[in-house]
Structures are given as C-alpha cells and as structure tokens.
Structure 1
Amino acid sequence: MTFLYKANTVRGIEWARFFAERAPDLPFRLWPDIGDPAEVRYLAVWKPPDDIAATFPNLDLVFSVGAGVDQFDVSKLPAHVPLVRMLEPGITETMVQYVTMAVLALHRDLIQFIAQQQAQVWREIQVTSAAKRRVGVMGLGLLGQAVLDGLKSFGFPLAGWNRSPRSIEGVSCYAGNGALPEFLAQTDILVCLLPLTDETRGILNASLFAQLPPGARLVNVGRGAHLVEADLIAALERGVLSAAVLDVAEAEPLPADHPFWNHPRILLTPHNASMTTPETAVDFVLDTIARHRRGEAMPGRVDRERGY
C-alpha cells in the first residue's frame, strides 16, 4: 500500500518529510519513482497521468493538490475511486491575502501608478473612499466566503454571486443566471473565484463586461479559461474596464508575444494566488484517508456531476 505524490518536486520533498513523521507505516513515493504501480492506493496529483486507471489498477483515493479539479477528466477515473479536492488552511489563507492585495491595488490605482513611474510621470490620482467602491465576488464556496470575510474590515460594500443561493452576513448575495445582471450592475471591482465547468468557461467575456459599471476593474483568480482574453484587451482599450489583476491565463506560462506581458493596465502573476502548505496538506490527506477507511464522509469529495 503506497502513497504517490505527482506535483511540484520541491514541495513533494516536504510532503515526504511530514509523511515520515506522521505516517511512517505508509510508504511515500515521489513521481517518477512510482515503484510497483499495483501497490499505489493513494495518489496526490496536479496534472494526472494520461491513463490513471490502467497505470494504477488498485487506487482507493485520488487527491488534487489544489483547490480545483478541472485538470482531471473524471471519465477516466473508475466510478468507485473518489476524487478529493484539497481543503487545507494554507490554500484559504494565501487566497485571502492575494485577493485582498489585488482589490486594494485596484482600489488605490496601483497599476496606473506603476505605469506612471515607468513613464517618469508624477501625478496624483484622486482617492475614492472604500464606501463608494463596490466589490463583487463570483463563486461563494469556501474560498469566496473567506475572501469576502477578509475584505469586510476595509469598508467596501460587498456582494456575491453563486449558481445556488447563499446567505452571508454583511454581503448582498445573488443566485442564478437571472440575478447576474443585477449583481454586475453594482460591482466596481469584480473577483472571479468560480470553479471551471462547462457552464463557467468563457464567462468573463464582452457581454459580461458591458454589464459592469463603466471603468470597472477585474481580478481573475479562478482559471484562465474563465476569461475570453481578446475581450479583456478590447474592454481595456475601450475603457469598458480600467484595469485587471490576473493570476491565471489560458496558456501557462504565457507565450513571449502574449499581449498581457506588456499591457499597461494589467498586473500579472504566475498562477500562485493560493498555494498548498505541505504540513497542513499532509494533515488533511491523512485525515481523509482515515475517514475513507472508516467509511465516513470526506470533506472535499468532488461531485462528478457538478464538476467540483
């Protein structure tokens, strides 16, 4: 019975150390040193192998090392093997930090100030009070709710949109496609934290941007495929949007000639808004394995019909 890790090698070495401390009786292997594939019962992975079922015929559990699972083709996973997305405090903590940074950067015009510095321009920009800057979050799962909670202390009017109804203290909540236009119309800074599904692919597009207040600002920390990149460039050029902070892109890393690299109204980071913390991730994984062995419910288990 073996646990196999297939993701970032540097963090994998840390996983190995914590496994040795906390589960010395469970053999741990780091890809590509898989040992006997028939012995692999637990797999933690970011980009899954091409044919999981054939390569590892005796799998009991598959973990995504991140909060998302859109990188998996669940049709290639045997129906009896649960897929579990990572629910550990490091992911939540770092996402809250990043989105807070991004919202404040957009609120206080940091992207424009960076452009002015590069052009050696010394020009004040009138400050808008937080009470007049409306922030809306798309996606009200664990991360979305944590982000909204983290933003409350700054005084922004907060709203959230989700496919299914949510109730969050201090947040105006909207649900379903019918409520989306009303949510967008009162959102000055839009944060995308949606899971990537067939329904949300390409949702950040020209039609959606046109429903935001003129000059609205965008934070995308979901997936690159949520965004129609050409529509964003056009919206920035026409003033429909005034700035964007992007942590994800359709092609990662970006090609050298991609317009995002040098666009004066885009702040770009390399898909590290949130990051799994090895120590707490190992605790979550070991707890989930114990729950599975006892036949208990497992937090983070993916609903294959919904895709998250």
Structure 2
Amino acid sequence: MEILISSSVWDPKPWVEGLSASRDITKIHVWPTTEDISKVEVLFVWKPLAEGIINKLPKLKWISSLGAGVDHLTSDPQIPSHIPITRIVDPFLARDMTNYVIMGLMMHQRSMLTHLHNQRATIWDRITYQPLKVGIMGLGALGSHLAERLVLLGFEVFGYSRTLKDIDGVKCFDATQNEEFLNHAEVLVNLLPVTPQTESILNANLFRKMPEQSYLINVARGNHLVEKDLVEALNSGRLSGALLDVFKEEPLPTDNPLWQHEKVTITPHVASVTTPESAIKLLLINFELLNNNQKLLHQIDLEQGY
C-alpha cells in the first residue's frame, strides 16, 4: 500500500522513518513530489492540502489528520464525503495539553506576570490569591483529561459540551445550559472543536455572560475567537487577561495588536504537539483495520464536524 504525507508545518522525516517499519506500506510519498502518486491509498495530512491534490489520488481509501484537529479537513471542499477521515487521539497530547493549561491557570491565579514585573522593579508586594472556578468548554479526550486533573488539584470545575457528560467531581452542562455554565467561569478554557456552530463563539456576547474580571485560555483554534471583541473586553475590564496559543492567522502577524497588549500572553501554537512515535502506533493499528475492512479508530462524524 502506498501512502502520501502532506504537511506544511511539520518535518515529515520522523513520520517517514516510523511508518517505513510497516510491512503493509510499500512506498511513502511526501508532498510536494513529481512522482506518480496515482496508486496512493492513504493520505496523512496536517494543515491545508494543496489545491487539486485529491484529484491525483483516484485510489484513495482513507485520510488521517496528523493531529487532534480535523477542521483543516472538514472545511476542505475537495475532500469527498465517502472517504473516512480519522484524527489522532494520543494520551501524550492530552497530558501535554493539560500541563500547559495548568501552567497558565497557576500563573494567572498566583499573579506570576505581576511578580516578574515587581522583581525587575525591586518591588516587594505580597499579592494574595483566591480559589478559582474553572469552566472547560469541550469535554472530549483533551477536555475530560484536563477536568479530571483539575479536580485532583482542588479546583472547582465546570464542564460544557454539546451533549451532557458525566465526570466525577465536575459539574457538567450541555448546549441548552450555556449561560448557566458561563456564569461560573472565572477562568474559561476553550477546547471545543471547530464547527459552524462553534466558530467565533468566543465573542462579546459570551464575555458578557462570564463573571467580571474573568480570564480566558484559548488552546483550541483561532477561529473560535473574535479578536476585536477580546481586545474590547480586556480594555473595558470585563476580562482580566488572556492566554492565547492559537490564532486565525499563524504565524501571528507582527502588526496584530494582541502582541503588544499588556493583558495578553501569547505562545506560538505549542500547547500540545503530536509526538510521531506515539501517533504512528495508532496509524498502524488503523492500517490493519483498513486492510481487514473494519471501521477505523477515531473516525470523525462529518455531520458533527469532529
């Protein structure tokens, strides 16, 4: 079986080396290529595909995202609806995402940026800290893992998802209880998938439903956030700050006002990065399932978008 790897962001070399060990894979192509790819049956991709690439793959049977997100695939009109699409569900992704959010949450609760400023200014100011109620939007593999760990750390945790979930120690809400959920979110962590229903969900209307001086952590997708509304909420004092790891345009343009905003902390989409060694194990399991005409693991529902 021939496969094609297309990634506009990551170095494909670790993926090629890891997948080459499989006897089921006879040839690995890396896009862009001038080779004949008409026999390719499997496509692994991260970030947008080149226009017209699907037309070059008449034997395509399966597409997999090389990360947890699939919005770059579900929003691509050139991908046929009959081809199964899968995503990476990796325990290391969940662990790393949880660690990142805990870091941001603790830095906010303990006023670490202020302490760092005070250190440079030789100011001794013992800033007190308060218990925080944490709201998690999106209780999939990443959100559920985060919620469970925050409960163990002693935080009061609230969860929001399209359908009601049951997680020990977490007060869960469904899509009909959006406002009630937001009323508790002194810190709001966004881990929703991108769908037509969730795009631009982090907007002025949502911010008004949160407690005064709440804090935002966005680690899902930049398309969730209306940046103009965030800046206005920060300037007005509605929100006390934000930790942003994802943006509509990446790399974030140097003239974007978020770079210079004193209440915003930016990281360059590094909250949780797929580990090829771990993800390849899942891909190889799906290879075997494909060969046996069985349903693939972590196959997405195109109607739901995730």
TM-score higher than 0.5 here?
A: yes
Distance 1:170 1:81, change over 3 A: same
Q: Which amino acid aligns with 1:291?
A: L
* DSSP-derived class of the 1:37 partner: coil
TM-score, scaled relative to structure 1 = 0.93
**Once superposed, which parts of structure 1, at least 4 consecutive aligned residues long, lie more than 6 Å away?**
none
TM-score, scaled relative to structure 2 = 0.93
Q: Is contact 1:112–1:264 with CA below 8 Å preserved after alignment?
A: no
* Distance in 2 (alpha carbons) for counterparts of 1:276 and 1:51: 27
In the alignment of these two chains, the number of paired residues is: 304
Q: Is contact 1:74–1:304 with CA below 8 Å preserved after alignment?
A: no
RMSD: 1.8
The residue aligned with 1:206 is 204
* Distance in 1 (alpha carbons) for counterparts of 2:148 and 2:49: 33
Q: Is contact 2:190–2:219 with CA below 8 Å preserved after alignment?
A: yes
The residue aligned with 1:17 is 17
- Structure 2: where are the runs of 5+ without partners? none
Match 1:88 to one of 87, 90, 95? 90
- Structure 1: where are the runs of 5+ without partners? none
Report the more deviating stretch, 230-239 or 73-82.
73-82
* Distance in 2 (alpha carbons) for counterparts of 1:239 and 1:186: 18
* DSSP-derived class of the 2:242 partner: strand
Q: Is contact 1:115–1:264 with CA below 8 Å preserved after alignment?
A: no
* Distance in 2 (alpha carbons) for counterparts of 1:225 and 1:207: 16
Does the alignment pair 1:98 with 2:100? Answer: yes
Q: Report the CA distance between 1:55 and its aligned residue.
A: 2.1
* DSSP-derived class of the 1:173 partner: strand
Does the alignment pair 1:37 with 2:48? Answer: no
* Distance in 2 (alpha carbons) for counterparts of 1:126 and 1:6: 49
Q: Report the CA distance between 1:201 and its aligned residue.
A: 0.9
Distance 1:26 1:202, change over 3 A: same
After TM superposition, list the pairs within 5 Å mapping 1:87-236 onto structure 2: 87-117=89-119, 121-128=123-130, 132-176=131-175, 178-236=176-234
Q: Which amino acid aligns with 1:165?
A: L
* DSSP-derived class of the 2:159 partner: strand
The residue aligned with 2:57 is 56
Distance 1:119 1:64, change over 3 A: farther
Q: Report the CA distance between 1:298 and its aligned residue.
A: 1.7
Q: Is contact 1:4–1:34 with CA below 8 Å preserved after alignment?
A: no
